[in-house]
Amino acid sequence: MLVFAASDKGGTGRSVTSANLAYQRALTGDHVAYVDFDFGSPTAAAVFDVPGAMRGTEERGLHSYLEGETAEPVRIDVWRQTEHPLLRARPNQSGRLVLFPGDAGGGEFATGEEALERCVDLLLKLNNEFDVTFVDLSAGRSYAVDMVLDATAHPRMRNVPFRWLVFHRWTRQHVIAASGLVHAEHGIIGGGVERGHDEDELRAAIRFVRAAVPDPESPLWSQGSTAQATWMQACDEALRRLAAEQRIGDSVVLGIVPLEPILQWQEQLITEEDVLSTQIANKETLEALEEIARRLTDDTHWGRL
């Protein structure tokens, strides 16, 4: 299965959350690919802690591959090449976790017919090799989004299952923007239909993930005043109403990732160790990630509503 990770704005936690979902799927035994189509600002190498492996890949990343300058994009075996001490001991019974990095210097670029064919070649190859392939897309209605909408409408891809995750933060502006990315006239659904996708099928394959959501009940805020608590509750309720009006209400939410202090400081994978031994991460965060990773392939959370 292909999973496209999109967001309207930067800073929504799209890359770090989808990298964590990839990690969680690999822990359960799936072979997982993580494809960095965030052409403007590739960050996956930092999340997976493979900076050393990135040296010398400037010319053989996905950007060069799509432009036809290299026949095969670089792949980085995360368990083997990470500098993260905990990840290096590949957990027993885990599947492979392979990162396909973008080029260090590559920006957005115009897609052409041949780049599209190469994109289809790559996605098919990955789908034949990996159980789940995460594709992290540049924010907004980017070339990356257009390209995968084109690719998934291509006749060669007709039998390849795919799903979309749209990440957004839990604020007024982010809720409106995420809804626009999907539902606006030339949004993901509109743009997909223009390219030959079936509207209902595409809609059924899109779910939202709310990231960095402050939980008013959380001990993080227990020091606050009553007035603050009341204000937060009211905000939360107003946002829920807004999300429902914007057609991104609870029924199309795959999961909610709570505000996690360590992710505010550093984009990283959250391991069991971070929760249990060093206790720098919250149990709720890890549980949320595990649950979203599980729901990705649980059909009861997908489909037409």
Partner 1 sequence: MAPRQSTPPAVLACGEIRTCLLPARQALDIRSAAQLLGLRADERVLLSERPGLYARSPETLTGVDCPLPSANGARVRAVGTVTAHAALTEGRVLQTSAHCRMPGTGPDQRRPWGEYLVRPGVVEPLGKLPRDAVAQGVLGGPRHGDLDVGLIADGLLTRVLRHPLLDQRPPFRSRPTRLRWAALPAAPGEGPALERFTLAEDELRTVRLRVPEGTAGADIAALCDDLALHDWLLTTVVRMLDGLRLGAGAAHDAGAVVRTLRPAVDHLLHLWMPGARVGRELAALWDPLEERPGFTRQWQALVQRIRDQLTLHAIPAAHREVEPAP
Query: Is residue 93 a contact point for partner 1 (CB under 8 A)?
Result: yes
129 binds partner 1, rule: CB under 8 A: yes
Smallest gap from residue 283 Cβ to partner 1 (A): 25
Calculate the alpha carbon distances from 186 to 47, 163, 236, 253, 267 in Å.
31, 19, 29, 22, 31
Closest to 157 measured CA to CA, from 198, 125, 112: 125
Q: How far is the CB of 122 from partner 1 (least distance, A)?
A: 10
Q: Which is nearer to partner 1, 131 or 215 (CB)?
A: 131
Under the phi-then-psi rule, with left for phi > 0, alpha for psi from -120 to 50, and beta for the rest, what region is 15? alpha
Residue 226 near partner 1 by CB under 8 A? no
Cβ 155 to partner 1 shortest distance, Å: 8
Binding segment for partner 1 (CB under 8 A), chosen from 81-89, 150-158, 223-231, 286-294, is: 150-158
The structure tokens 């779910």 sit at: 207
Shortest CB 158 distance to partner 1, Å:
8
Contact between 236 and partner 1 per CB under 8 A: no
Q: Phi, psi at residue 31, to the nearest 5°?
A: -85, 125
Distances (CA, A) of 14 to 64, 167, 174: 23, 6, 13
Q: Is 67 a binder of partner 1 (CB under 8 A)? A: no
Strand-by-strand arrangement of the 32-37 sheet: 76-77, 97-100, 32-37, 132-137, 2-7, 162-169, 206-213, 253-258
Instruction: Read off the tokens for 18.
Output: 């989808």
87 binds partner 1 (CB under 8 A): no
- Choosing from 46, 86, 116, 124, the residue that interacts with partner 1 (CB under 8 A) is 124
Looking at beta carbons only, is 194 or 201 nearer to partner 1?
Answer: 201
CB of 55 to partner 1, least distance (A): 15
For the beta carbon of residue 59, count every other beta carbon within 10 angstroms.
14
Q: How far, in whole angstroms, is CA 141 from its chain's centroid?
A: 15
Binding-residue total with partner 1 (CB under 8 A):
24
SS3 (DSSP) at 237: helix
> By CB under 8 A, is residue 224 in contact with partner 1?
no
Query: Does the protein bind partner 1 through residue 121 (CB under 8 A)?
Result: yes
Q: Should residue 117 be labelled a site residue for partner 1 when binding is judged by CB under 8 A?
A: yes
- Contacts of partner 1 in 29-58 (CB under 8 A): 29, 31
Q: Is 298 in the site for partner 1 (CB under 8 A)?
A: no
What is the Rg, in whole angstroms, of the alpha carbon atoms belonging to the chain?
Answer: 19
By DSSP bridging, strand 2-7 and strand 132-137 are parallel
Exactly one of 9, 40, 67, 131 binds partner 1 (CB under 8 A); that residue is 131
Name residues whose C-beta falls within 8 Å of residue 170's C-beta, 6 or more positions apart in sequence: 210, 211, 212, 213, 214, 236, 239
Interface with partner 1, residue 82, by CB under 8 A? no
Nearer to partner 1, 117 or 236 (CB): 117
> Which residue of 4, 23, 130, 164 would you call a contact of partner 1, by CB under 8 A?
130
Q: State the minimum distance, in angstroms, from the CB of residue 3 to partner 1.
A: 15
Amino acid, res. 180: G
List of residues contacting partner 1 (CB under 8 A): 29, 31, 59, 70-72, 77, 93, 95, 117, 121, 124-125, 127-131, 155-160
